[in-house]
Chain A
Amino acid sequence: MDFRQPLLEKARWRPWEYALWVVAFALPLLVPSHALMINEIAIVALFAMSLDLILGYTGIVSLGHAAFFGFGAYTAALFAKHVMPDPTIGLVVAIALSAALGAVASVTILRGSDLTRLMVTLGTALLLLELANKLDWLTGGADGLQGVVMGPVLGVFDFDLFGRTAAWYSLSVLLLLFLLMRRLVHSPFGATLKAIRDNRLRAMAIGIPVVSRLAVIYTVAAAVAGGAGALLAQTTGFASLDVLAFDRSADVVLMLVIGGVGWLYGGIAGAIVFKLLQDTLSTVTPQYWMFWIGLILVLLVLVGRDRLLKPWTWFGARKAVKP
């Protein structure tokens, strides 16, 4: 009779989730010297979560998610430079335009195999990179877009040099969008996405409108990624070509995979681990950070990435999965 109980149970907020967010918001106060780092982690966590929507929940392998991140970043920077410096309005505009771009780009991912999707997502990102590079009268080309001055957040809080305002601003946006995404993936809509991921043909057979679902989730993911990009541009006051670069798309996939796909907190966990690793490793060997990242990727896949977060499976023979 009460079949909804266990389903609702799954979506309920756990105590540790409240604790996590309280700690996150307290961190800029506790370790003020690392506020910039916290800001960065919040931004990439948001970016990784947006990718999780399409990769983890819907099963679309994308190597070009930086397209939307970079588009959001450039939009926010240009908006602040030419229209008005208010960050909140700039953020909303960037999200709206990224969503529009995502809606257009979603046409490209509806058909074909994994390889085709990989190619068109990669192609979209490279297309935008090439555009940003060539339209140098607008974007500053390879020098980056400089001279972006942001106004105070909500007209009250100025961005300070130590990044505390920035950290809280990014954390607030992260929390807000996280709540929306959490609601989305636990809704019946989210359940249909997982059905599409697990078996597209069967999902179609039970009457799920696969094409429109894919288009909608791709648009949402693009919007959130655009928001993350906008946060980066606004809090650093700078946008350069590397927001669109291939490395960024690859990094975000890695982050998500470290944290675990199909789980929104995976994005956050991955972002924290990735940024800390990057920070440590690049102080040791600044130039060869790429080698370590490659090694981590290879080992991660060889060991099996679902085992990373389950230390009790690391040793001993792999048991057969129960049918």
Chain B
Amino acid sequence: MLTILFDGIAYGMLLFVLAVGLAVTLGLMNFINLAHGAFAMAGGYLTVFAMQKLGVPFLLCLPLAFLVVGAAGALLERTLYRPMYGKSHLDQVLFSIGLAFMAVAAVDYFVGSSQQNIHLPEWLRGRTELGDGALLLGMGHYRIFIIAVCTLLTVVLQLILSKTRFGSRLRAAVDDPRVAAGLGINVNVVFLLTFAVGSGLAGLGGALGAEILGLDPTFPLKYMIYFLIVVSVGGTSSITGPLLAALLLGIADVAGKYFIPKMGAFTVYLLMILILMWRPQGLFTRKGGK
């Protein structure tokens, strides 16, 4: 029981790190970015190559994935994404799905369609068990590591958002970009930075999650729906919403696959549709939000 809960939390935390960038993009610029998974995939592949070809240690790969993918995100934002902000949602969906398709085919071309593995260092491979019987808690060390990293990231993100000047600018821009621009906040720069950090986090999440989620060229399409669930169920007005939604999704998915394996992902999709019918703007949105 507790093991499932634990695995679910680890999975949920991972999903949160992967999807938080998407939540900000959507909340800030009202931009539906279906290519978000491509950044995560880039992070994953980067880690695999840095480790296998260059022999970079795993711990060093994580910040590397964050930085490189973040820089790539900034570049893409400046060149390709910016003209899209004013367009209709249909255009945005078409555009970003086109990018995702291109990423999938390009990775397939350059790397091949086989599943990639990450060789974890020895100290992350073990498993600790506590208690016994129904309360048995089996914790894979790697999952403990993921939870620790993601918790740290969440706390840091929350602090940046609530305590720093940049955070208050960002929140202002999310609430109303036009008024924020009128107050002298350079919304474009705020957004460029946020997009870079968001895609960097996706890259980091991809690097962390390659072991658990698997890594092959179809990654962006396979997990697109999960990121979108996190964002649409959690709402885009805060980061606690997506966090709770990601944890909920992670636990529901792991528990669903464990208890009713026949149904597979069925439970998750059904839950999402029901939740969205009940609260179309997401579960954790403030009243009177957009």
B155 beta carbon closer than 8 Å to chain A: no
* Contact bitstring A212-254, B, C-beta under 8 A = 1, else 0: 0000000000000000000000000000000000100010011
A298 contact from B99, B229, B263, B264, Cβ within 8 A: B99
How near does chain B come to A64, taking the closest CB pair, in angstroms?
10
A204 beta carbon closer than 8 Å to chain B: no
Complex: A115 Cα to B285 Cα, angstroms? 15
Q: What chain B residues lie within 8 Å of A130 (beta carbons)?
A: 263-266, 269
A112 beta carbon closer than 8 Å to chain B: yes
How near does chain A come to B288, taking the closest CB pair, in angstroms?
15
Q: What chain B residues lie within 8 Å of A300 (beta carbons)?
A: 94, 98
* Contact bitstring B250-273, A, C-beta under 8 A = 1, else 0: 000000000000111110011011
A63 beta carbon closer than 8 Å to chain B: yes
B100 beta carbon closer than 8 Å to chain A: yes
Identify the closest chain B residue to A133 (Cβ): B264
Complex: A62 Cα to B100 Cα, angstroms? 18
Closest 4 CB pairs of A and B: A297-B98, A112-B280, A294-B101, A291-B105
- Interface segment, B67-75, B81-89, B202-210? B81-89
Known contacts A111-B277, A288-B108, A294 near B102 by CB under 8 Å = yes
Q: Cβ of B266 and Cβ of A119 under 8 Å apart?
A: no
Complex: A122 Cα to B221 Cα, angstroms? 12
Complex: A116 Cα to B89 Cα, angstroms? 12
Q: What chain B residues lie within 8 Å of A309 (beta carbons)?
A: none
Near A by CB (< 8 A), chain B positions 183-221 give: 221
Q: Cβ of A301 and Cβ of B84 under 8 Å apart?
A: yes
Identify the closest chain B residue to A302 (Cβ): B83
A contact patch SS? helix
Binding site for A on B (CB under 8 A): 26, 32, 80, 83-84, 87, 89-91, 93-95, 97-106, 108-109, 221, 225, 228-229, 231-232, 262-266, 269-270, 272-273, 276-277, 280-281
How near does chain A come to B251, taking the closest CB pair, in angstroms?
19
Q: Cβ of A112 and Cβ of B281 under 8 Å apart?
A: yes
Q: What chain A residues lie within 8 Å of B265 (beta carbons)?
A: 126, 130
A153 beta carbon closer than 8 Å to chain B: no
A293 contact from B91, B98, B221, B225, Cβ within 8 A: B98
Cross-chain pairs A/B with CB under 8 angstroms, 18 sampled? A61-B89, A63-B93, A113-B280, A116-B281, A118-B93, A120-B277, A126-B269, A130-B264, A130-B269, A246-B221, A250-B101, A288-B109, A291-B101, A291-B102, A293-B98, A293-B101, A298-B95, A298-B98
Q: Which of B95, B97, B100, B231 has the most CB of A within 10 A?
A: B97
Complex: A123 Cα to B229 Cα, angstroms? 9
Complex: A208 Cα to B22 Cα, angstroms? 36
Q: What chain A residues lie within 8 Å of B93 (beta carbons)?
A: 61, 63, 118, 253
Complex: A298 Cα to B80 Cα, angstroms? 9
Q: Cβ of B97 and Cβ of A297 under 8 Å apart?
A: yes
Complex: A302 Cα to B100 Cα, angstroms? 15
Identify the closest chain B residue to A298 (Cβ): B98
Complex: A57 Cα to B190 Cα, angstroms? 37
